[in-house]
Chains A and B, each alone.
Chain A
Amino acid sequence: MSQFVEQLPVVLSALNEGFVQTLKLFIVTLLGALPLGLIISFGSMSKFKPLSSFVKTFVWIVRGSPLMIQLLIIFYMPGIVFHNPVFGGGEEGRFAAACVAFVINYSCYFSEIFRGGIKSIPYGQQEAGEVLGLTKSQIFFRIKLLQVIKHVVPPMSNEIITLVKDTSLARIIAMQEIIWAGEAFLKGSHGIAGQVWPLFFTAVYYLAFNGILTIAFGKLEKKLNYYRG
């Protein structure tokens, strides 16, 4: 027991450090994948067939293969195949590679959610805007966007909670996120070795963070419920 009390602050500070990396990856992925997902959804709905087919195939490949493999390809391929290791070997490079992989992967998932949301808006909304003389962008931003957001918040919150847990996949390219930090105490780190509980303890971080997100999304959903339709 006294040993545990001694180790706890050391472990927590290491886990906190890892969680900061986890959080950074999470935030960068959201900031990148939300707008990119919207753009990809436009591409997949384009009336220009070559573009929409290309985008749909791309989305299919990204959604159909494991994110873990995508991480490995993006991190290692430039060095192994093209002899140009753009990401380098340090933590910064690993973080950058993870960001690229996550943004690409999640923007494809988000694009499908956006596509569903946009498709669910009745065409009458578009035409009502048109006959009032609105431009295409006014119709999108002033009429459709909020309705799309209302429709996508529930599936989006599911996907974002999955993202929180998926960040642990970055461990595969040795990005120093929270799982990596917890695992370190198995082999030995900060003078502590052979301890497995720090690794299990990382789950508390995920649970707490997802709990906060769940409450926040619930509030947002409630807020958007000021109207029906």
Chain B
Amino acid sequence: MSILEIKNIRKSFGKNEVLKGIDLSLEKGNVLVIIGSSGSGKTTLLRCLNFLEIPDGGSIAVNGETLIDTNDSSTLTDKQIRKNRLHFGLVFQQFNLFPQYTVKDNITLAPKLALKSEAAEIKKANGSSAARDYKAKRLHEIDKKADELLQQVGLSDKAESYPCELSGGQQQRVAIARALAMEPDILCFDEPTSALDPELVGEVLKVLKSLAESGKTMVVVTHEMRFAREVADRVVFMSEGVLTEDGTPDEVFDHPKNERTKQFLQSIF
């Protein structure tokens, strides 16, 4: 069974139809790279996966669980949307770290807030001492996990620094650790290196590569073709809201079938 199954996703902004029926499925542990020219809808697709936009049509399922199906007329509640979001993580082009928190607090904020509501529910069901024990145990785990993640992205020595004290590459690595802390099934990246100085791109791509090797399922929008060729299990080409090419990196880069893909590849190489 695929970890991700997207069927016929459509999204319009006013009269502008940005996604015109996207079908996509992804196997667990695979890295999917999305390429395509500016304005083709790549960001919008990632935003739909993370429920920052609600698709007008289509369905999204993760591990066989349908998160949204527009044929089913009921609209999603805020709570459902928040639950759906937890299947995905999103790393933004502009990092969007929380400036007032240290690196470590950036990473632990969301897990700790989630723990708060978990503990409240346990308190209701099993009393306050059970909730207290659970909370203490989980706080310890969250803390340990944050240390591991910092090590994974090579920033153990920056745990107590503030985002403003870090380079762009370091900030993006913190953003990756922050997304991983919520243990998403699928981690999405929207041009994670586009806002970086060229000499800082490598350190971020290295982290992405190590995540891929560790078996993380990822969807990456990028213009880094060398990275795509090296790390992607699959590459799709997006053009004006449809996927016009889908294959292994070798197939897409060396033997593109579609005329637009050829043009796009020529324009960037």
Which residues of A pack against B, CB within 8 Å?
122, 124-125, 127-136, 138, 142-143, 146-147, 150, 226-229
Contacts and interface: CB of A to CB of B under 8 A. Distances in A.
9 contacts: A132-B110, A132-B179, A133-B82, A133-B85, A133-B114, A134-B113, A138-B113, A227-B164, A229-B163
Given A130-B50, A142-B109, A228-B162, 16 more contacts: A124-B92, A124-B94, A125-B96, A125-B98, A128-B92, A130-B52, A131-B85, A132-B179, A132-B182, A133-B83, A133-B85, A133-B114, A135-B78, A227-B99, A227-B100, A227-B163
B241 interface: no
A122 B109 CA distance: 19
A228 B99 contact: yes
Main secondary structure of the interface of B (DSSP, over half): mixed
Contact of A228 (B52, B82, B90, B164): B164
Interface residues of B, number: 27
Contact of A131 (B88, B98, B99): B88
Nearest to A146: B100
Contact of B89 (A124, A127, A131): A131
Contacts of B225: none
Contacts of B52: 127, 130-131
A142 B113 contact: yes
Given A124-B94, A132-B178, A229-B163, A147 B99 contact: yes
B109 A229 contact: no
Contacts of A228: 99, 162, 164
A210 B109 CA distance: 38
Nearest to A124: B96
Contacts, number: 64
Interface of B: 50, 52, 78, 82-83, 85-86, 88-90, 92, 94, 96-100, 109-110, 113-114, 162-164, 178-179, 182
Contacts of B94: 124
Nearest to B85: A133
Nearest to B109: A142
A125 B163 CA distance: 13
Contacts of A124: 92, 94, 96
A142 B85 CA distance: 19
A122 B88 CA distance: 22
Nearest to A138: B113
A122 B82 CA distance: 21
A133 B182 contact: yes
A44 B214 CA distance: 49
B115 to A, nearest CB: 12
Contacts of A125: 96, 98
Contacts of B98: 125, 128, 143
A92 to B, nearest CB: 43
